[in-house]
Amino acid sequence: MKRDPDASSAVRVRGLSKAYGKRLAVDGLDLEVGYGEVFALLGPNGAGKTTTIEILEGHRKRDSGEVRVLDADPGQAGRAWRSKIGVVLQDASDSGMLTVAETVRMFARCYGRSRPPDEVLELVGLGDKVNSKVRTLSGGQRRRLDVALGIVGMPELVFLDEPTTGFDPEARRQFWDLIRRLSSDGATILLTTHYLEEAAALADRVAVLADGKIVAVDSPSKLVQHVNSAATVQWMEGETMQTVHTDCPTQVIRQRSTDGAELAELTVTRPTLEDAYLQLIGWA
């Protein structure tokens, strides 16, 4: 399947809706992800992230809307299209009696082209577990195996649904390096995560979902501009902590220290991605 030369986006969604009974899980959602982009979907449980991802993967039918993924409608695309995407689910089944290497080799044979299994296992940090039975792996190691199975087919587009759940901090940083390598090789990455620092570290752009709708889309650094971006200046005055919210923190500090007095325990902080996220979903 050749890429449409006129297609500018790996993912293009217009007016996507999906209901479960009377509950509208996805409500007229619009979304666009460029080729080669690392794009993160953020939102609380029940916001519609997983439903959206499953529709884009072709694993769930939509009620209405236009969806194009790698130049095709995922609800109708065939095997050739599926060979171009990689999927890392929140919960993946495994063949517990097989070894780690056997499992990856089995999946690799399903693709027309694939990365060498040993190389993939080194990439995800399981190089020393090739002969271990899958059932003996820890939760974090199984999650790494899930990632290996998702990327062994050298996909053009990788869906990562909560990929680092169960990872310790060191393993999470190693996984981030893997995502950056996949991106540098030209893959498009679409991930959901509850770790805001993960989105800030990896994503070119972030979309925040709430109640089935996208309430903001921007780079992590610019997302805070969608909400109150005033700085917070704090200092101790006697035994009382003084707090001022301002767009001009330097001016506040200059005014408060005109007599040369030291502003004890002075701090100046600006909103973080987490602050913006909580405001956008209505939790702050």
Express each pLDDT in 239-282 by its tens digit: 889 899 888 888 888 888 776 677 888 998 887 888 888 888 88
What dotted CATH number matches 9-224?
Answer: 3.40.50.300
Mean of the pLDDT values across residues 129-157? 88
- pLDDT class of 90 with cuts at 50, 70, 90: low
Residue spans per domain, the chain: 9-224, 227-271
Q: Among 25-39, 92-106, 147-161, which range has the highest average pLDDT? A: 25-39
Q: How many angstroms separate the CA atoms of 50 and 53, rounded?
A: 5
pTM: 0.80
CA distances from 55 to 157, 179, 283 (A): 14, 23, 27
* Residue 154 and residue 115 in contact, taking contact as beta carbons nearer than 8 Å: yes
DSSP per position, 153-201: T--SEEEEESTTTT--HHHHHHHHHHHHHHHHTT-EEEEE-S-HHHHHH
According to the model, what pLDDT value does residue 178 have?
84
* Residue 111 and residue 152 in contact, taking contact as beta carbons nearer than 8 Å: yes
According to the model, what pLDDT value does residue 69 have?
96
- As beta bridge partners, residue 207 has 41, 217
Mean of the pLDDT values across residues 184-194? 91
Mean of the pLDDT values across residues 30-55? 93
